[in-house]
A and B are shown apart, each in its own frame.
Chain A
Amino acid sequence: MKMEEMSLSGLDNSKLEAIAQEIYTDLVEDSCLGFCFEVHRAVKCGYFFLDDTDPESMKDFEIVDQPGLDIFGQVFNQWKSKECVCPNCSRSIAASRFAPHLEKCLGMGRNSSRIANRRIANSNNMNKSESDQEDNDDINDNDWSYGSEKKAKKRKSDKLWYLPFQNPNSPRRSKSLKHKNGELSNSDPFKYNSSSGISYEALGPEELRSLLTTQCGVISEHTKKMCTRSLRCPQHTDEQRRAVRVYFLGPSAILPEVESSLDNDSFDMTDSQSLISRLQWDGSSDLSPSDSGSSKTSENQGWGLGTNSSESRKTKKKKSHLSLVGTASSLGSNKKKKPKPPAPPTPSIYDDIN
């Protein structure tokens, strides 16, 4: 039969409509049949009733349709009005404000360190005159005397490291507003650094030596413990490691990785005097090895250069008093440095201090 012979246009509409209806009915029946086959197969294969749940479970998960609740039955604004007690300051804080409050309260987090940095910068600028006199006192106070940085330049990395212990808002802050980490850290229950370190007092000399040959060993000023990370741990610089070894094992101690070009010879008495007055060892410099690298090459311009790590390596002391005088040694030739410390001037100075 040829389509060309048929002409639908010749048919009247009722017939067309009838045909359309027929086609439609055919389609629907096809669908029904298809559905029947599916069901029958499901029944015979045994999975027809699988998606049924027992009425008890159905009740549990029934859709809730009450005003003020979502379909699971939860209240919309439930957490807004709830209050939590801050473990740090024991205040009752609204739930939605709890996280930012905790950040500031603990002094951890980006914003709090920024704010504290700014505050310290401001306060140090204001206290600059009085700080100079108090410095020597500070040094005498503690074995680990980390006097505040005098000069203007403060590295951000230092502050970040200091900061968790120096909550400017906390009443525990010392009146001098300086970094007296030795004192404050003890009272601060929340330690920023996990104290995964070794207390060097408990170690014998042999253990110390073996430890220092395998681990970083740099003593954290906050916890008074030696760093147990590898010799190349990024938190501390090689100068610090050298200083620690010198401190423990005498001036002849050499780092497992010997650094070339350390020249400590040019060590002026006069310079050292002024230096001692600014003894400071910032462990904080550790965080930025790049900084230490740069300060190494620099002519040790500002003592305020927080990264005294470059200087620390040059310290030589035969003293038990380990004031890791980073800065002291960098006098004179800052370009070349030798691992061997020139002993003479330093001990006397330290005697004075002690």
Chain B
Amino acid sequence: MNKDAQMRAAINQKLIETGERERLKELLRAKLIECGWKDQLKAHCKEVIKEKGLDHVTVDDLVAEITSKGRALVPDSVKKELLQRIRTFLAQHASL
């Protein structure tokens, strides 16, 4: 288990070092805006806020409400493409 954890840590480190993580993040952000995910989520936010009242909104509330929904709303195509890229990256750096 330790090894796995170490593995993961190592991989993450590699991701960050090469800048791949940033690239992936940007790519994901762009794709989500494109597919309308952001707008959907925004509409959902509006409802939540209207419910809660504008002045009483906290970050924690929002986070709790939104992340679960957000994760579910990501379209499959985006998910697949991102996974593909991650696998490619892992394959590239297999024997490091």
Is residue A89 contacting chain B, with contact meaning CB distance below 8 A? no
In the complex, A73 Cα to B29 Cα: how many Å?
35
Number of A-B residue pairs having CB atoms within 8 Å of each other in the complex = 98
B90 to chain A, nearest CB (A): 6
Interface residues of A in 2-26 (CB under 8 A from B): 3-4, 6-9, 11, 15-17, 19-25
With known contacts A19-B90, A20-B86, A35–B28 Cβ distance under 8 A:
no
**Does more than half of chain A's interface fall in helix, strand or loop, or is it mixed?**
helix
A17 nearest CB neighbor, chain B only: B87
Is residue A71 contacting chain B, with contact meaning CB distance below 8 A? no
Residues of B within 8 A of A19 (CB): 7-8, 11, 90
Is residue A37 contacting chain B, with contact meaning CB distance below 8 A? yes
Contact A20 B49 (CB under 8 A): no
A6 nearest CB neighbor, chain B only: B10
Chain B interface bracket (under 10, 10 to 19, 20 to 34, 35 or more): 35 or more
- CB 8 Å contact bits of B4-37 with A (1 = contact, 0 = none): 1011111110110000010011001100100000
Contact A8 B7 (CB under 8 A): yes
With known contacts A19-B7, A19-B90, A35–B41 Cβ distance under 8 A:
yes
In the complex, A203 Cα to B4 Cα: how many Å?
108
User: Which single member of B10, B24, B54, B74 contacts A3 (CB below 8 Å)?
Assistant: B10
Residues of A within 8 A of B86 (CB): 20, 23-24
Contact B83 A20 (CB under 8 A): yes
User: Which single member of B6, B42, B54, B82 contacts A24 (CB below 8 Å)?
Assistant: B82
Residues of A within 8 A of B79 (CB): 24
Contact B25 A31 (CB under 8 A): yes
Chain A residues with CB under 8 Å of chain B are: 1, 3-4, 6-9, 11, 15-17, 19-25, 27-37, 39-40, 43-44, 48-49
Q: Report 17 cross-chain contacts, Cβ distance below 8 Å, ordered by A residue.
A: A1-B6, A6-B6, A7-B95, A9-B95, A15-B4, A20-B83, A23-B24, A24-B83, A24-B86, A25-B71, A28-B71, A36-B67, A39-B42, A40-B57, A40-B62, A43-B57, A48-B49
Chain B residues with CB under 8 Å of chain A are: 4, 6-12, 14-15, 21, 24-25, 28-29, 32, 38, 41-42, 45-46, 49, 54, 57-59, 62-63, 66-67, 70-71, 74, 79, 82-83, 86-87, 90, 93-96
